[in-house]
């Protein structure tokens, strides 16, 4: 099988991971594009002695660690030429190793040995990172969450997860119009939205209208993730696949709020 065929099916999900790391579709997709350009230029950078998906994420992690502050990816040429990444890895990352481990394990669904291989760490180090992430989660400020979901059982499950994390549910909307009414009365701190709603309206349209004049972080849920991970049009930054695991929703919520807090902390320094 050609190399391109081996990795093609994994690219959409690598985009999902990259977007979750950066908190931006544009930045995440740029990282993935840089990686693909690097592989085309020199396919030997992709390890052939392991599963293709693990190998792809492993090389991506190397690229991620090579960029100062993870603000903009290196060109493929610079990626090849850079032999010593230590000067970059000493700089604090927007998404630290602990969060990367959580995303790989609970969102991307890798096993613990696979996460160790991707991150080039031992099992004890992985467990330490996961414990560190648990402590970081406790630092998140409680958020008012708007849930946009037309299936009652799913909305109830999402509400339980949100509350179990220490946040509150400001309301549950079944349609775009209901969501706009709820958001008009009080601005949510975060939005969890199904994309396709029962009345034919769109959760994406609802979120777009609600966030037109603000940066409210949003997570979308869909049974058809590949449709929204193409990289060729405006797409969600944070995406959860139905049917989901509780750990996946929790990890994504924690990452979204973590990035929102980080960006708020960094804002004064960027102006």
Q: Give Cβ neighbours of residue 183 (< 8 Å, ≥ 6 apart).
A: 146, 210
């849930």: which residue's tokens? Answer: 147
* Alpha-carbon separation of residue 198 from 8, 209, 221, 235 (angstroms): 32, 19, 14, 21
pLDDT (mean) for 62-67: 82
Q: pLDDT digits over 131-144, tens only?
A: 999 888 877 789 99
Nearest C-alpha neighbor of 19 from the set 193, 154, 217, 224: 217
Gap between the Cα atoms of 115 and 104, Å rounded: 6
3-state secondary structure string across 57-79: HHHHHHHHHCCHHHCCCCCHHHH
Q: pLDDT digits over 212-266, tens only?
A: 888 899 999 999 999 999 998 889 999 999 999 999 999 999 999 988 887 776 6
**DSSP assignment string, 152-213:** HHHHHHHHHHHHHTT-EEEEEESSHHHHHHHHHHS--SEEEEESB-TTS-BHHHHHHHHTTT
Q: pLDDT digits over 4-58, tens only?
A: 788 999 999 999 999 999 899 998 999 999 999 999 999 889 888 889 999 999 9
Q: What per-residue confidence (pLDDT) applies to 136?
A: 82
Domains of the chain and any CATH numbers: 3-137 (1.20.140.160), 144-270 (3.40.50.2300)
Q: Are the beta carbons of 187 and 216 closer than 8 angstroms?
A: yes
Q: Are the beta carbons of 17 and 108 closer than 8 angstroms?
A: yes
Q: What per-residue confidence (pLDDT) applies to 35?
A: 92
Q: Are the beta carbons of 187 and 162 closer than 8 angstroms?
A: no
Question: What are phi and psi for residue 52, nearest 5 degrees?
Answer: -60, -40
């002695």: which residue's tokens? Answer: 49
Strands lying side by side in the sheet with 168-173: 168-173, 144-148, 190-194, 218-222, 239-241
């Amino acid at each position: 099988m050609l190399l391109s065929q081996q990795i093609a099916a994994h690219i959409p999900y690598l985009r999902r991971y990259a977007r979750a790391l950066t908190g931006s579709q544009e930045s995440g997709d740029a990282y993935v594009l840089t990686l693909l350009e690097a592989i085309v230029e020199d396919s030997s950078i992709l390890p052939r002695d392991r599963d293709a998906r693990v190998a792809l994420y492993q090389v991506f992690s190397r690229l991620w660690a090579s960029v100062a502050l993870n603000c903009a990816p290196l060109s493929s040429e610079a990626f090849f030429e850079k032999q010593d990444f230590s000067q970059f890895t000493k700089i604090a990352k927007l998404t630290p190793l602990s969060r990367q481990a959580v995303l790989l394990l609970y969102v991307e669904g890798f096993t613990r040995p696979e996460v160790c291989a991707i991150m080039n760490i031992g099992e004890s180090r992985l467990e330490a990172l996961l414990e560190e992430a648990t402590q970081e989660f406790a630092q998140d400020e409680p958020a008012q969450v708007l849930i946009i979901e037309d299936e009652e059982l799913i909305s109830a499950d999402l509400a339980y997860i949100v509350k179990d994390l220490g946040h509150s549910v400001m309301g549950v909307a079944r349609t775009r119009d209901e969501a706009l009414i709820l958001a008009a009365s009080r601005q949510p701190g975060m939005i969890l939205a199904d994309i396709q709603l029962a009345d034919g309206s769109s959760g994406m349209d609802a979120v777009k209208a609600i966030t037109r004049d603000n940066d409210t972080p949003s997570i979308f849920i869909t049974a058809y993730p590949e449709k929204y991970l193409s990289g060729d049009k405006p797409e969600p930054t944070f995406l959860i696949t139905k049917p989901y695991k509780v750990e996946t929703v929790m990890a994504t919520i924690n990452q979204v709020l973590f990035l929102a807090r980080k960006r708020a902390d960094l804002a004064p320094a960027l102006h």
